[in-house]
Amino acid sequence: MQMEATKVIEFELPQMDVGSSCTAAAWARVPDAPSAAEKLRLKTRIKQLLHEKKAVLVAHYYVDAELQDLAEETGGCVSDSLEMARFGRDHAAQTLIVAGVKFMGETAKILSPEKTILMPDLDATCSLDLGCPSDEFAAFCDAHPDRTVVVYANTSAAVKARADWMVTSSIGLDIVAHLHAQGKKILWAPDKHLGGYIQQKTGADMLLWQGSCLVHDEFKGVELDLLKAEYPHAKILVHPESPAAVVALADMVGSTSQMIHAAMTMDAQEFIVATDNGILHKMQMAAPDKRFIVAPTAGNSATCKSCAHCPWMAMNGLANLLYALETGSGEIIVDPSVGKKAKLCIDRMLDFAAAKKANVRPSSDLAQEQKLFSGIGPA
């Protein structure tokens, strides 16, 4: 087994200037909450234009609750990035409005190249995507030609085009285990925490790119332990982009879809949730009688840049969504040759997920049901 640190991307530290200004720029672009009257006006006009333009809104669990509700009210969907792309691909609409971050818009475009994909703000990105530039990643791959390249969904189209497999946070473990059983050595990018978690679970030989999610990286094991002492009956739900010390305390580790499912089905009334706090809206709707507490990002070692909320997800608002619909701005463009290559690694995963689902019988057992959710959930 080989574990190598190849490139340290702390994102904010020590590259303070680059990282801080980057996050600050994102927070500066987060729209102010509109007044109740303005909100009503914006929502009414968006609904009208979605109808007139035969467009559909797909939103991620981490965006503002107003956008999540609007997507569902208008026949769109609220989900994780892969399901957003699959929904968009299978929907009759020729225009998809993607409320999320750029790699989600790109994945939608890769799966539906003939459709128009618009986003409220094209500068809404992701620290994992930013931390894995395609040219440096290509050089990394070139230096390790003996390895099967597996990338997380949170990467650019150009990085996906260089990969053999794309995976999501739920099916990544199964795919790496499958490749490991075939004797393959893995080159993994970009999330070091998710990669480390999968490596530890599968025992696979994985060379890890050292990227991280700005939001999940800030959850603290020590403080989570202290919070658990305050809520001894609470179950801890953790997304595997979190640091190992946080994952070690989890009652359940899984993707966003799996976490919502666990909140509904686990036998507990209180949950501590280690992922972006945008997910609480859907969790509370799915389990209205239960209590959800955000995992701590504070403490002695705190550097809180996000406080459990992604600044890039927060850039999506009603006003910029309406502007994109009215003007056609914020269109996602993917070079067709890059998109064609990138689609191969996505299709490989989709085929693997479909075959896996076909082999799992429905069961009332939670572990089995969580497996049914496999393949449906990146961040």
Binding site for ligand SF4 (CB under 6 A): 62, 101, 126-128, 154, 213-215, 276, 310, 312-313, 379
Amino acid at 41: R
CA 320/CA 309 separation, integer angstroms:
19
Is 153 annotated in a binding site? The answer is yes
Is 256 annotated in a binding site? The answer is yes
Closest CB to ligand SF4 among residues 87, 312: 312
Displacement of CA 213 from its chain's centroid (Å) = 9
CB of 215 to ligand SF4, least distance (A): 4
Is 126 annotated in a binding site? The answer is yes
Closest CB to ligand SF4 among residues 42, 294: 294
Is 329 annotated in a binding site? The answer is no
CB of 379 to ligand SF4, least distance (A): 4
CB of 144 to ligand SF4, least distance (A): 24
Closest CB to ligand SF4 among residues 174, 241: 241
CB of 11 to ligand SF4, least distance (A): 9
Closest CB to ligand SF4 among residues 179, 272: 272
The residue assigned the tokens 């075939």 is 182
Per-residue burial over 345-366, b = 16 or more CB atoms within 10 Å of its CB, e = otherwise: bbebbbebbeebeeeeeeeeee
DSSP annotation of 379: -
Closest CB to ligand SF4 among residues 179, 237: 237
Is 22 annotated in a binding site? The answer is no
Is 157 annotated in a binding site? The answer is no
Is 326 annotated in a binding site? The answer is no
Which token pair is 103? 């790699």
CB of 301 to ligand SF4, least distance (A): 19
CB of 156 to ligand SF4, least distance (A): 12
Is 216 annotated in a binding site? The answer is no
Q: Within 10 Å of residue 155's Cβ, how many Cβ atoms?
A: 30
Closest CB to ligand SF4 among residues 221, 240: 240
**Known binding-site positions:** 60, 81, 126, 152-154, 169, 213, 239-241, 256, 310
**Known binding-site positions for iminosuccinate:** 60, 81, 152-154, 169, 239-241, 256
**Known binding-site positions for [4Fe-4S] cluster:** 126, 213, 310
